[in-house]
């Protein structure tokens, strides 16, 4: 899991500085739209789903006025209508891939996801076929600079908030909770007056598969093709992200 979170955080930091920023903004706006429509309206104080979506939008440096426009548009009669759909399949070497999409045209999305699988040595499976390979977990990314006081005391507070695992990097802390404790941890961080850089429910692989670096790079390339699709919100996989693989991918960027 450590490799997955480290790679995700590297991409997150770099993504805010390059061409992927526009895609991150698109994802954030969709998340806000769905949160307003399905989570309980445009008031973040009364809508915890929207509150979380706003946090994530801030985490990718979306300007405040853009966030406010997205909320206002989602509240109007002409707001876009999105449907959440998921896809499960296998990439080369039997790597499991789970794709979450938010779309206004399911037929387009199905065709696009199937095409990406088939053109890159993979295959689209039936829904539910990979569910057992992933656990849904709450994942919170916190910037160390926002933590005041003793770090060990802070970790005890996190455990009280439902943390099952805490991973520390140079400038970030990644906290994992059970899916059912996502709201508990959100409330704990609010109580501590700490706004996470990112907080979401993710599908974490139960077990990972390690491949030779060249084969593993092909899987990450496939994942990136999915992530470049406008309808795709999240992509999960059970490839082991080794330090060697991270080093190789960083050389190419």
Least confident of 4-8, 32-36, 149-153: 4-8
pLDDT in tens, 21-73: 788 899 999 999 999 988 889 999 899 999 999 988 998 889 999 999 999 99
- Check for a shared fold between 83-132+207-242 and 135-205: yes
Q: What is the pTM of this model?
A: 0.87
pLDDT at 11: 67
Least confident of 89-103, 191-205, 238-252: 238-252
Q: Please state, in angstroms and rounded to a whole number, the distance separating the CA atoms of residues 36 and 92.
A: 38
Contact 39, 49 (CB under 8 A): yes
More confident: 4 or 108: 108
135-205 belongs to CATH 3.40.50.2300? no
Alpha helices in the chain (DSSP H): 2-15, 20-39, 48-59, 64-75, 106-119, 151-160, 182-191, 213-228, 243-252
Extents of the domains making up the chain: 2-75, 83-132+207-242, 135-205
Percent of the chain with pLDDT over 90: 69
2-75 belongs to CATH 1.10.10.200? yes
Is the confidence at residue 195, as pLDDT, over 60? yes
What is the CATH T-level fold of the domain 83-132+207-242, as seen in this structure?
A: Alpha-Beta Plaits (3.30.70)
pLDDT at 114: 97
């Amino acid at each position: 899991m450590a490799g997955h979170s480290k790679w995700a955080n590297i991409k997150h930091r770099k993504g805010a500085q390059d061409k992927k920023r526009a895609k991150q903004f698109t994802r954030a706006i969709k998340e806000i739209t769905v949160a307003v429509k399905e989570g309980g309206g445009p008031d973040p104080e009364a809508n915890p789903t929207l509150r979380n979506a706003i946090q994530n939008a801030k985490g990718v440096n979306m300007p405040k006025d853009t966030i406010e426009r997205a909320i206002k548009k989602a509240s109007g009669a002409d707001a876009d209508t999105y449907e959440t759909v998921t896809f499960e399949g296998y990439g080369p070497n039997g790597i499991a891939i789970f794709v979450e999409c938010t779309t206004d045209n399911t037929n387009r999305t199905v065709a696009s996801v199937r095409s990406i699988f088939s053109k890159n040595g993979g295959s689209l499976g039936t829904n539910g076929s990979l569910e057992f390979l992933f656990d849904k977990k709450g994942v919170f990314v916190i910037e160390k600079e926002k933590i005041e006081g003793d770090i060990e005391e802070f970790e005890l507070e996190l455990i009280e908030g439902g943390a099952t695992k805490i991973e520390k990097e140079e400038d970030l802390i990644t906290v994992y909770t059970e899916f059912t404790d996502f709201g508990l941890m959100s409330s704990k961080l609010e109580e501590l007056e700490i706004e996470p850089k990112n907080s979401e429910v993710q599908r974490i692989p139960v077990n990972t598969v390690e491949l030779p670096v060249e084969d593993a790079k092909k899987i990450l390339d496939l994942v990136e093709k999915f992530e470049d699709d406008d309808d795709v919100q999240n992509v999960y996989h059970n490839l082991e992200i080794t330090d060697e693989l991270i080093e190789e991918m960083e050389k190419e960027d």
